[in-house]
Structure 1
């Protein structure tokens, strides 16, 4: 009101006149009662809009508004208090209170609100008191209170909050604010029903999940897949027996896909094992027939070329090849599955790799696994004729240390480390595959998992997750995750037909911040999955 108007009111008052303030015509909507600074509306079918732009307080009761849309109050930017009670609207959209930079009190109580957008309160930089009490909210979106540093009181009581991962951010937010927060009790899940929300411990919530989604198919079946890094770039090599080759893949940054880079002729190949020594790249191609070969690339820019036939009189029927380091030197161990052959340790000597030791003859070995126990190199051999046998490196050779009890008919073994312990995944074709833990002198049974045509039980550390995939020729392959609290592998996801058929090996690679899982399949093409982390509290 201008100075002249104020002076006129003073003169009238001094003259004894009684003057009641009246809002300008048309400024107080129907079904509303207005005074100079405030308005109360009850039963309005829509959101009233024709208020004075200088209005300070607005109360809306039992209106027919179905939702609060963006910019609903742009015409009354001077509001300091806004109250909703007993209304029927159930949704509050983003920027519903845009323009209310002076609003200090917002009470949205006893309504039917079941959903509020994460940016609904954006721009309320003066808000001190907020109430969402007695609505139908089961959860609140993360960052709902972002930018509301002036809050001193928050009332969330009377809502049927589900105390699952969606509430985790709220538990983490409350201690960071100087506001008093009334939260009430949990409505669910059943285990937490009626527990006061402010008594919940955020550390007990497990709100991070992972998922493997299909990404790409690489033609032709494969028996093995190996990862190696050459000249700072990750590469993958597949053993493809039906295509008679070792296929090397690299990442195409322009197409954002994996592409073939080079292939090595290798009929009846069962394993392609890479070794990088400075600028040199070696690939051991273990073949069922025709002799195993060593390929070499002395320096970048050259192509791989065959340089050596490996132990032709000893390696009669290779089934697996592994790389290990002994006394600072690289060696390969090739498991031989023939009745007359023997598993052979080949170590580097000059330009090639030559037999250093034959071990475990006549046992038709199907798998070799190199691992370190008690600070010393060990070698574990699985065979078709007896339980897996553990060897340890001593005196420049491998000597038998022990076998693994309760482990008959084991096709392959793979190990992993977690929490300072060494675990072993043992693959059985039919029956129960097993997880064992090293106790300092022996591997002891920890867990059994049903196997249905399994040739691979592969542990993989992807990001922060220790996974293990139990393959199946007859059903879905099981992706499991180690739960540190229990020390056991728990089911996580299933992978299966029509994409994944008869898996034989798995490997993962990280490229440009993305994580991929390769699955070599015997009865179908190699499948590539992308690893995603999912925040369940979002």
Structure 2
């Protein structure tokens, strides 16, 4: 017995009179009708003129290509609607509006490639739904919203693409008390012919990050640092050619970042902020003229020079970092001069004074403060040897180890994820590296080609651990750490003409939005708006 015969028997068992008789009253051309049923075959479009008491309508091999909104408003009593072997390819929103009594909807062996997300809206009595043997590669999310009475759903025979677009469907199935026929995957190639019911929703990675340009801040910069003052996030840019540390804050009326304060600092390479209670300090490390410490002089974030920092020791600073040692704030300034040494300056009374000289004669280019095994550590990169790791012991830093197979490292940056400590090593030419601390040393996990890189910086944005590898010669690359693989996967490219020779990145969240600052040496600082995309939508 065919599908139509089975359905007619179902209706008969439900008390619906479906005995076939010669047509009486109105019956469209190419249709066979009874008192409350109609079967139409070969009709060029949707037949009309049926009585409003019609309970069953079957359309077979018609020329119907699409169902528009309100197609069945004149048949409000329908209990069964069947389409089989038609040319139907598109179902629009509210196509079945008004069919609040419909229990059986079978749309099978058609050419449906598109169905709108609100196509089934209003079918509050529907128990059996079949979209079997069509051309559906995916289904819109929330297609089954409001269909709480469903007991049987048949989706077999469709060329589903088993990517993020089917994730919602896999998550929906366990939440309903319905028998669902899923069928197999037609793609991607790695999943072809796999049963949909065998897919694990947890294996789908359907969140993405996208950066779009938002604002430009004039003048080139070597560094960008985030700090919070009186509950509001701020950024400070080290702008050597403009000769200043530029403090920026969010302007809620203009909906953009605006200059808040400027500190005069010719040849500045690093502006490092420190907030102690209600007071703000900024260390301005300068190539010439001596490094300075600025301190807040008034409640409205105005700063004034407070102290000249170790003028005989800081000969050619290249980087400055903030760290806390024995409960006291300290700065470490990496010195790149041939006759200089990296210097640790700690707070003593009102100012900051040298506490220890480190790594003399090695021309350090970068300092990174981190915590390992519950103790403060310091990692120094230089042009003359592999990065050296120091640990805090007895009130001073002592050499602990170096990083093997890591020559010509310009800078290092660390981050934590899943209880592990990872390290991004920047190399100008060759391969930059991702490493992980194993309890005794950093071990190589991944190598990434570098082309003129001065920065390989991790950035945590909400739940996403990103790392951005800059380039002076080509596009910079945004990566995301995949927790299951412990590897970085590419996300996006950022490049000229906007992004020119990046030197530092920083993430800031303000007004409920995420932004990325990119300090550039050969162009103005770029600010990107960070969007989170749901690929399963």
TM-score interval, normalised by the smaller of the two chains: over 0.9
Which runs of structure 2 are paired with 1:200-349 in the superposition (5 Å)?
200-297=199-296, 300-349=299-348
Q: Provide the residue aligned with 1:7 in structure 2.
A: none
SS in 1 for 2:409: coil
Determine if contact 1:70/1:96 at 8 Å carries over to the other structure. yes
Q: Provide the residue aligned with 1:93 in structure 2.
A: 92
1:348 & 1:299 partners in 2: Cα distance? 21
Q: Provide the residue aligned with 1:441 in structure 2.
A: 440
Determine if contact 1:412/1:426 at 8 Å carries over to the other structure. yes
Deviation string, structure 1 residues 426-475 (Cα, Å, up to 9, x no partner): 11111111122212122222222211111011011111111111111111
- Cα offset, 1:147, TM superposition: 0.6
Determine if contact 2:297/2:304 at 8 Å carries over to the other structure. no
Q: Provide the residue aligned with 2:510 in structure 1.
A: 511
Q: Provide the residue aligned with 2:75 in structure 1.
A: 76
SS in 1 for 2:161: coil
Q: Provide the residue aligned with 2:101 in structure 1.
A: 102
2:185 & 2:338 partners in 1: Cα distance? 66
Determine if contact 2:506/2:518 at 8 Å carries over to the other structure. yes
Bigger Rg, which one = 1
1:360 & 1:184 partners in 2: Cα distance? 65
Q: Residue 502 in 1 paired to residue 497 in 2? A: no
- Cα offset, 1:512, TM superposition: 2.4
Deviation string, structure 1 residues 263-313 (Cα, Å, up to 9, x no partner): 111111111111111111111111111111111115532511111111111
Indicate the larger mover: 150-159 or 39-48. 39-48
Q: Provide the residue aligned with 1:157 in structure 2.
A: 156
Determine if contact 2:23/2:32 at 8 Å carries over to the other structure. no
2:22 & 2:483 partners in 1: Cα distance? 71
Determine if contact 1:279/1:299 at 8 Å carries over to the other structure. no
1:475 & 1:351 partners in 2: Cα distance? 46
1:444 & 1:178 partners in 2: Cα distance? 50
1:302 & 1:475 partners in 2: Cα distance? 39
- Cα offset, 1:237, TM superposition: 0.7
Q: Provide the residue aligned with 1:467 in structure 2.
A: 466
- Cα offset, 1:363, TM superposition: 1.3
SS in 2 for 1:411: strand
Runs of at least 5 residues in structure 1 that lack an aligned partner in the other structure: 1-19
Determine if contact 1:21/1:36 at 8 Å carries over to the other structure. no
Q: Provide the residue aligned with 1:6 in structure 2.
A: none
1:446 & 1:83 partners in 2: Cα distance? 58
Normalised TM-score (structure 2): 0.94
Q: Provide the residue aligned with 1:419 in structure 2.
A: 418
Runs of at least 5 residues in structure 2 that lack an aligned partner in the other structure: 1-20
Q: Residue 140 in 1 paired to residue 139 in 2? A: yes
Deviation string, structure 1 residues 353-384 (Cα, Å, up to 9, x no partner): 11111111111111100001111101111111
Normalised TM-score (structure 1): 0.94
Determine if contact 1:294/1:307 at 8 Å carries over to the other structure. yes
Indicate the larger mover: 125-134 or 66-75. 66-75
SS in 2 for 1:191: helix
Indicate the larger mover: 132-141 or 189-198. 189-198
Determine if contact 1:413/1:424 at 8 Å carries over to the other structure. yes
